[in-house]
Amino acid sequence: MYNKYEMELAGRTLRVDVNRVAKQANGAVLMHYGDTTVLCTATASEKPRDGIDFFPLSVEYNERMYSVGKIPGGFNKREGKASENAVLTDRVIDRPMRPLFPKDYRNDVTLENLVMSVDPDCSPELTAMLGAAIAVSISDIPFDGPISTTQVGLIEDQFVFNPTAEQKEASRMALTVASTREKVIMIEAGAEEVPEAQMIDAIFAAHEVNQKVIAFIDTIVAECGKPKHTYESCAVPEELFAAIKEIVPPTEMEEAVFTDDKQTREENIRVIKEKLEEAFAEKEEWLEVLGEAVYQYQKKTVRKMILKDHKRPDGRAIDQIRPLAAEVDLIPRVHGSAMFTRGQTQICTVTTLAPLSEAQRLDGLDESETSKRYMHHYNFPSYSVGETKPSRGPGRREIGHGALAERALLPVLPSESEFPYAIRTVSETFESNGSTSQASVCASSMSLMTAGVPIKAAVAGISAGLVTGDTDEDYLVLTDIQGLEDFFGDMDFKVAGTHNGITAIQMDIKIHGLTRPIIEEAIAATKKARTYILDEVMNPAIAEPRPEVGPYAPKIIQLQIDPQKIGDVVGQRGKTINAIIEETGVKIDIEDDGSVSICGTEQEGMDKAAKLITTIVTEFEAGQVFEGKVVSIKDFGVFLEFAPGKEGMVHISKIAKHRVNKVEDVLKMGDVVKAVCLGKDKMGRFSFSMRDVAE
């Protein structure tokens, strides 16, 4: 027998099976939400991992194609590298869970989430988020939970909780909120310029729903929860801290970190660390944790300076943004480029345009989305932080930052009918010292405008930080945090948007949640900073999208033809369309609905291709004039090719106004002439005349 628990959640049944499967894991639940089924497990090592100064938490969201009745594509026919959606889901699960494990816990913990069945109306990502929290809560792994997660949509100004697939299509917002019993611990959002006040209301509406789920989880834990195991603490000994302060007094540490230059600060800390290593040369047990001790000393110093003295390490005011700069067109021959600099954070974004046929194909569990025409990629090389290491391709951080910027810009992009291009923006991190993801939003917005993409409004992004004291009322919200304030602070609250509202949010915190006043103050601070960046920095660099794409970008002509005529344009085995492509040097894409995209860099070739396609799909009618090439000469006349695969005959008597005794006296192969359609002859064939073309 196993334990089964059920509750109604947003009109659907959420069922949790405990002690049914995976009983050797520290904690395991088989989650059912509608017909969506996810196995969630939590396991921990018996001892801490040696030689590390961080909590080794691994989160895996494993998508199985059988969950949607598919066999994976490709030669291997089994799941391989995690999809982008899986990586982003890993990150969303990790962010609210990580702060709730003990700070001195160094045992390896793995949260595995196996998607086994997908109901399109019941999000497997949400099911995994809930299942991961429950699996850890009922396990013997130390964890200060439970937490709950809710998704929110916005349809006609009404909030919809855990929206169905159809509701997601109609929604102006995709918001995910995780909560503890008292506070909000994680926010992730994409939105179509939703006003700040409405976004705050949505966050706390989700927080209320989360409280009902937490009460449900409490019931499960009360009946099935295991006692939490004891563990070997990896906290830095207090006597080591005391010894460090005797050698390096607080005033010396303040001087070391109080600089706006990252490299100077790192050099100051290196000197301090060398002094301490020399002083503690005989105490091997202290040397093993000295790095963590110095880190903690810096952290306490920076937090005290900010919270008590209102002094930031680089001397800025609490709401002051670092020096800003923006420029465009710095990279020649690309379709669009822009660079955005904020202090020691610098991003260059390059935009590339292509036909819609080059949109990214998606092979995942979401059957409603099979491709995407806008792709944002983010790169973070080691030189951007003054380090050296080989590039191994994008990691989870790079994928997450790229997706955040992509989400921020999607709401302002033109529709395919307005701008029939696939669009790729690539953000290259030249220098990093805090919030490169939001700098990439600013650079990408300008880069799109330089490329001639008619975006609806410019988008800017900024990050707010937080330092808290002993009570909920003792805190300070910082505008535009640099790396040090991110490392030693409690929050990285990223908000992107236009003048009209928010397009994306991502909130990372290291404490047990935020109160409503903190969230309201952070959103207000980011709005003020975002407005300044848009008006004073980005707008002077480029105020609006260029009226047309650049000289090196492909041009596109859109045609709409009768879907029944697609076969005529393509021809047998593609013969007709390939002939047009070869003759004009363009690229042609035809959709099932009859929409035709002609892409090229030379306008003359594009116009010719459009004319040929139009001719192919046009029914011959009396009085129409066409231009054709002589492709066959007979004794009785000539055959003209008006377009690949479309020919008509001109009788010898209709070639010229005077009598023609021999066709070759007037025409030769390859001549291009005009002819008017005379209608059908007695045998039902269309005939043409060169003689009767109006002058």
Average pLDDT, the chain: 93
Tell me the pLDDT tens digit for each residue of 517-528: 999 999 999 999
Q: Give the residue from 256, 268, 235, 282 showing the smallest Cα distance to 105.
A: 235
Evaluate if residue 73 carries a pLDDT over 90.
Answer: no
Q: Name the token pair of 319.
A: 């709401």
Q: Using the predicted structure, report yes or no on whether residue 568 has a pLDDT greater than 90.
A: no
Look up residue 383 and give its two tokens: 């030189």
Residue 45 CB-half CA count within 13 A: 14
Amino acid present at 68 = V
- Is the pLDDT at 326 greater than 90? The verdict is yes
Residue type, 663: V
Closest CA to 126 of 164, 100, 83: 164
Place of tokens 């404490």: 511
The reported pLDDT for the residue numbered 263 is 87
Question: Residue written as tokens 């003054």?
Answer: 386
What tokens were used for 406? 């992509």
Higher pLDDT, 367 or 681: 681
Predicted pLDDT of residue 283? 83
Beta bridge pairs of residue 112: 41, 60
Q: What angle do CA 323, 254, 515 make, to 5 degrees?
A: 70
Rounded to the nearest angstrom, the gap between the alpha carbon of residue 507 and the centroid of all alpha carbons in its chain is 15
- C-beta of residue 42 within 8 angstroms of C-beta of residue 109: yes
| Angstrom distance (rounded) from CA 150 to CA 184 | 11
- pLDDT (average), residues 189-199: 97
Res. 643: pLDDT tops 90: no
φ and ψ at residue 632, rounded to 5 degrees = -155, 135
Do residues 520 and 511 touch, judged by C-beta distance below 8 A?
no
- Count the residues in the chain: 695
- Residues 272-316: tens digit of each pLDDT: 999 898 888 888 888 888 888 888 899 999 999 999 889 998 889
pTM of the shown model = 0.89
Q: How far apart are CA 460 and CA 451, in angstroms?
A: 18
Q: What is the pLDDT of residues 217-230, one digit of tens each?
A: 999 999 999 999 99
* Omega prior to 381 cis, within 30 of 0: no
pLDDT higher than 70, residue 367: no
Do residues 27 and 38 lie in contact, with contact meaning Cβ atoms separated by under 8 Å? no
Q: Round to whole Å and give the CA distance between 503 and 114.
A: 31
For 118-146, what is the mean pLDDT?
97
pLDDT of residue 530: 97
| Strands across the sheet containing 173-179 | 158-161, 148-155, 173-179, 184-194, 502-509, 491-497, 460-468, 475-479
With cut-offs at 50, 70 and 90, classify the pLDDT of residue 554.
very high
pLDDT tens sequence across 76-128: 888 888 999 999 999 999 999 999 999 999 999 999 999 999 999 999 999 99
Please tell me the predicted confidence (pLDDT) of residue 685.
76
213 has pLDDT over 70: yes
CA proximity to 61, closest of 124, 120, 122: 124
The pLDDT, as a whole number, for residue 23 is 96
Which of the residue ranges 24-28, 108-112, 171-175, 569-573 would you say has the lowest mean pLDDT? Answer: 569-573
Dist. CA 71–CA 256, nearest whole Å: 58
pLDDT confidence of residue 683: 76
Helix (H/G/I), strand (E/B), else coil: 590: strand
Question: How far is it, in rounded angstroms, from Cα 607 to Cα 584?
Answer: 9
Residue 424, pLDDT score: 98
Give the confidence band of 365 by pLDDT, cuts at 50, 70, 90.
confident
List the one residue out of 159, 249, 167 whose CA is nearest residue 205: 159
Cβ atoms of 159 and 153 closer than 8 Å? yes
